[in-house]
Amino acid sequence: MKVFTGMVVSLKMAKTITVEVERFVSHPVYKKRFKRTKKYQVASSKEHKVGDVVKFIETAPISKTKKWKELDK
């Protein structure tokens, strides 16, 4: 089970936060590294602010787009 770490970018939904994960990918031919970002809908019951760093894992589907759950510390 992989743990993802990302930054909160939206709090507009109830019990859900939008988290953006940034990773580096290497080009297969030219070997230059560049950024790739992806947004995830994460189930969360805690209070967050935009810019907070959170860790989350994959879980059974909660809704159509929500398949991630925040880790408790």
pLDDT tens for residues 5-41? Answer: 999 999 999 999 999 999 999 999 999 999 999 999 9
pLDDT at 54 over 90: yes
pLDDT at 73 over 80: no
> What's the rounded Cα separation, in Å, for the pair 33 and 69?
29
pLDDT at 65 over 90: yes
Taking residues 47-56, what's their average pLDDT? 96
Instruction: State the total domains in the chain.
Output: 1
What residues form DSSP beta bridges with 23? 36
DSSP 3-state of 23 = strand
**In the prediction, which pLDDT does 1 show?**
83
Domain, as residue range, for 40? 4-70
> What's the rounded Cα separation, in Å, for the pair 61 and 49?
25
User: CB of 67 within 8 A of CB of 59?
Assistant: yes
CATH of the domain at 46: 2.40.50.140
